[in-house]
Structure 1
Amino acid sequence: MSDKVQVHPRGYAEPKAALSQGILSGGFLFVSGAVAFHPETGEIVGDDVATQTRQVMENIRAVLKEVDLDLDDVVQSRAYLTRIQDDFPAFDSVYREFFSEPLPARSTIGVELAIPGLLVEVDVMAKVKS
């Protein structure tokens, strides 16, 4: 018997890639890499890292909300930036708007994302409330 439950936020389009937006397992919610897609249209929101980061964080928040969690429950995150040298300060500034102390453990990595126009992707792991 599997200890995995798929989590998909209401009102959001189904992912086009082979992934679950979230998996609840072992006392944690694992949220797949979120990108700056509009939840209903699937179109990229914004052409700068700050705008895209805000949409990414709202998309993560929607997955967390499905299992009564919020960003304060996030314990770890990974951020992927296509222009890390140029965009890190703006990304980090917006990211800080969404979290309070203690901030989640985080890695930030420079990458090439699969879809042209995407500048940032973030995945998180959140602890389920007991």
Structure 2
Amino acid sequence: MTTESRAPEPVGAYPYTRRAGNLLFLSGVGPRQRGQPAIPGVELDADGGVVRYDFESQCRAVFQNVRYILEEAGAEWDDLVDVTVFLTNMKDDFPTYNRLYAEHFATAQPCRTTLEINCLPTPIAIELKCIAVLKS
């Protein structure tokens, strides 16, 4: 476990994790990177509007951030038991998401719910909400 967080800073007044018994709840995790103003795979115009986005880059960054948060809380990827996925463009992005999900969850098989939503609090196309079971 590292002493310095590798996960991005939360965008509000909330913790990334909360333990209840042997369950670890993760707040919504997006693709932002710690200390970086730019979001992986997102190109913005001068007014902050999304010009284009690379969904695969965002998806990979989200999975990495979830790993960082789990590790910092003493958990592992295979401890995930439930994943709720929020996509802003189900029609275009779901096939890529499903392919990458299958790669990253080849051994871990958490339950999964995928929802399309209108927008997220920052200009991102994906966010994960997870629950893990801690071994100790």
TM-score normalized by the length of structure 2:
0.81
CA-CA distance at 1:19 after TM superposition? 1.7
CA-CA distance at 1:18 after TM superposition? 2.4
Query: Is 2:69 aligned against 1:74?
Result: no
Runs of 4+, deviation exceeding 2 Å: 11-14, 113-117
112, 123, 128: which one pairs with 1:122?
128
Aligned residue for 2:64, secondary structure, equals: helix
Q: Please, what is the CA RMSD of the aligned residues?
A: 1.9
Aligned residue for 2:99, secondary structure, equals: helix
Question: In the alignment, what sits opposite 1:85?
Answer: 91
1:32-73 C-alpha deviation (Å, 9 max, x unpaired): 111110122143111222110100011110110012211111
> Is the deviation greater in 120-129 or in 64-73?
64-73
The count of residues paired between Structure 1 and Structure 2 equals: 123
Which consecutive unaligned segments of at least 5 residues does structure 1 have?
A: 1-8
**Does structure 2 conserve the Cα–Cα contact (< 8 Å) formed by 1:11 and 1:40?**
no
Identity of aligned residues (%): 30
Quick one: which amino acid aligns to residue 69 of structure 2? Answer: V
CA-CA distance at 1:82 after TM superposition? 0.5
TM-score normalized by the length of structure 1:
0.84
Query: Is 2:35 aligned against 1:29?
Result: no
